[in-house]
Chains A and B, each alone.
Chain A
Amino acid sequence: EAGVVQSPRYKIIEKKQPVAFWCNPISGHNTLYWYLQNLGQGPELLIRYENEEAVDDSQLPKDRFSAERLKGVDSTLKIQPAELGDSAVYLCASSLSRGGYNEQFFGPGTRLTVL
């Protein structure tokens, strides 16, 4: 069974430029998460989807970040414009059900460097 797929794996951009990350969750997983992982820190939730609905986006900086999961399968996270402080790893995860009790499967992440 294929795991969570993310692309690109690495991205280097100049500040103020836009950037987008793509995630394809495990087939059948209705819940999709985007996390931010700063160096030496644990993942921090940005947004959680149940199918195509964003049910928790309270930690998403909406002035510059946006996300979509149009058909309830793959998802895109966008930053526009990027700032130096956005340099981090962006992790996507998926799980089978709504609750926090089911295993979250993480992708390898996209490492973003903003110059």
Chain B
Amino acid sequence: QQQVKQSPQSLIVQKGGISIINCAYENTAFDYFPWYQQFPGKGPALLIAIRPDVSEKKEGRFTISFNKSAKQFSLHIMDSQPGDSATYFCAASGGFKTIFGAGTRLFVKA
């Protein structure tokens, strides 16, 4: 019940394309869903986050889509750039706990 399942493990996208990463959770007590971006040799950094009272949140080229009934949420990166190449982690928070997904390694080809 505490797992957050993330897919795909890795993703290769052409420059200018759309990158889509999906996550699913089980515990309905989770009520905050952040996405973190991690570059090699660095710690994760918050990219964008959503609460389950909205179905979508957009910040620049990054959009979270949230489906509460399906217990799924996804990250869309529009106009993907080589500088977006990194590992992306979804997470689910609630009751002082944050559970991270296993991560998606994104490579954007120039």
Contact = CB atoms under 8 A, between A and B. Distances in A.
Question: B interface, by DSSP: helix, strand, loop or mixed?
Answer: strand
Interface of B: 4, 6, 9, 32, 34, 36, 41-46, 49, 89, 91, 93-98, 100-103
Contact of B89 (A42, A48, A108, A109): A42
A41 B41 contact: no
Interface string A19-47: 00000000000000000000011111100
A55 B102 CA distance: 25
Contact of A103 (B46, B89, B96, B100): B46
Contacts of B103: 40-42
Main secondary structure on A side of the interface with B: loop
Contacts of B4: 42
A56 interface: yes
Interface of A: 4, 40-45, 48, 55-56, 91, 93, 98-101, 103-109
B97 to A, nearest CB: 6
A93 B94 CA distance: 17
A96 B34 CA distance: 16
Given A42-B101, A42-B102, A101-B32, A48 B43 contact: no
A11 to B, nearest CB: 15
B9 to A, nearest CB: 8
Best-buried of A56, A98, A99 by chain B (most CB within 10 Å): A99
